[in-house]
Amino acid sequence: MSASTGGMNSSIQPYPLLRSLYQPVAAFEELSRGEPNPLAVFLRYSLWLLLLPPAFALIGGANFGWRVGAQQPLFLPPGELWLISAGYFLVLVFGLFSTALISRWMAATYAANASFGRHLALITIVGEPLAAASVAHLFPDVLVQVLVLIPTAIWSMRLLYMGIPIALETPPERGMLMASSLLAWLLVAVVSLLGVSMTLWVMGTGPLLGV
């Protein structure tokens, strides 16, 4: 299997990644035939997906306000909106790279391919439905987010379980265990993030919840 030296190879060009939404098996098979450059993966594709949720949240919060259970929407000053959106972006970048690193660390245990580029591309593909569904942030109502993002999260989990055996070339039973381990990490990370966010909000960073 030849390594890519000049950037991404054809297995992770934008078209196959977009095709993962409706032909995921073909996209994962293409990824398994190459060794993508991690920096090229991030700059050419992951970065733009990661920018979508904070951008939508910024636009939605500025125009409609946040609806978090109160009768009236919560409007924040522009400076706070930008700060929160920037923090949102940084958290997503950290989540992408930390998950890819943990996935690569698990590779030896589950006899999977250890190419960091593959792991980064795989996590990017798995997160693509969530990035697309973040358009729901344009109307930041809690109910809307639940109705849109929970089914999309299930879709992404399906891609994770489907993609690991194919893209990382590991037996299906080991791929299932590896996907479950990664999912456990992601759930812990999400719960921890919610706890940190609530703590910061109660302390006055972000919306004042009055609790």
At 106-118, the pLDDT tens digits run: 999 999 999 999 9
The Cα–Cα gap between 50 and 127 comes to 9
Instruction: Identify the residue whose tokens are 């919060």.
Output: 61
pTM metric for this prediction:
0.85
Give yes or no for residue 100 having a pLDDT over 90.
Answer: yes
Q: How much is the average pLDDT of 95-107?
A: 95
Domain residue spans in the chain?
Answer: 11-202
Averaged confidence pLDDT in the chain:
85
Q: Could you tell me how many helices (H) and strands (E) the chain has, helices first?
A: 8, 0
Instruction: Measure CA 140 to chain center.
Output: 19
Q: How far is CA 145 from each of CA 52, 129, 196, rounded to the nearest angstrom? A: 15, 14, 20
